[in-house]
Structure 1
């Protein structure tokens, strides 16, 4: 079959959808029961980012636009991945370098997302959610060999490489002898 000159984006979109979907299912079905009743706002933020990435990959798969459209989807995904990696890095930094949490902040760390959603406006909620996700300690599941932060780093690095491939893929030239 002759080449159409357009690159094959669908396999990469399927792979991205599968990776982000498996990460989301793993977080919800395996990590959440291991954490028990402890609230992990960082985990909630990562789940929201993975859900958004899954939707972007699914939309790119269904829509299947040309190179410019695929790059737009990949840039949007790259923005979400950068947010996740920044949050991960800042969370790691704040756990080692930031001053200790006060008792009021520790009580806020114990609040669930439902309780946080009852307070303030949307921008206040997002700011509080991000602050608490980076400042509150992340519980470590007892039976997991890797910490949640390391698992998140591996998954987001894989998705970063996939998105960079989506951005840098070039259309195949339609030559007579190529």
Structure 2
């Protein structure tokens, strides 16, 4: 069961990133700075899922991977929550739109780009796509919460490996 969770922790972000790139390059939706950061959070979750799947850890390391999944997904849900908050603001309170991420990376120091991205810009408040009433950050928040729950289930031992005979595995 735990290997299945690690497989899903790799596959779900991979599929969601493929959808994000489809939306960007085929549908023409330009990602905002918070969207980029959420993508990086999904990449981190997917990488942890892949490493854990290939490692097939015992009990202790499995819990470490579960913690990492929950932490990276927690960062992602925080970023998605910030974007949802920006989308809920009245138009007169939305921050000004900023330059593209590509431009900021060329011109500004990396820390300035990260700080601007985490605060969000007016671009982050634009709702350009909805499905079943949720915008893109709404859906990313749902998936991040599911990954947090799976990571916590592994961390607290609700899901164990068959290999895990003792606490040192």
TM-score greater than 0.5 by the shorter chain? yes
TM-score (normalizing by structure 2): 0.78
Q: Structure 1 residues 148 and 33, CA, compared in 2 at 3 Å: closer, same or farther?
A: same
Figure out how many residues of one structure are paired with residues of the other and give that number: 160
- Higher RCO structure, 1 or 2 (CA under 8 Å, sep 6+): 1
Q: Is the 8 A contact 2:87 2:126 kept in 1?
A: no
1:73 aligns with 2:65: yes
Q: After TM superposition, what 4+ stretches of structure 1 lie above 4 angstroms from structure 2?
A: 170-174
Question: Tell me, what secondary structure is at the counterpart of 1:118?
Answer: helix
Structure 2 counterparts to residues 1-178 of structure 1, below 5 A: 9-29=2-22, 31-33=23-25, 36=28, 38-97=30-89, 100-101=93-94, 105-106=96-97, 108=98, 111-132=99-120, 136-141=124-129, 144-145=131-132, 146-169=134-157
- Larger Rg computed on CA atoms: 1
Output the CA distance in 1 between the equivalents of 2:122 and 2:61: 33
Structure 1: unaligned runs, 5 residues or longer? 1-7
Q: Is the 8 A contact 2:87 2:127 kept in 1?
A: no
Structure 2: unaligned runs, 5 residues or longer? none
Offset at residue 163 of structure 1 (A): 1.1
Q: CA RMSD in A?
A: 2.8
TM-score (normalizing by structure 1): 0.75
Q: Structure 1 residues 139 and 95, CA, compared in 2 at 3 Å: closer, same or farther?
A: closer
Question: Tell me, what secondary structure is at the counterpart of 1:136?
Answer: helix
Which has the larger displacement, 113-122 or 126-135? 126-135
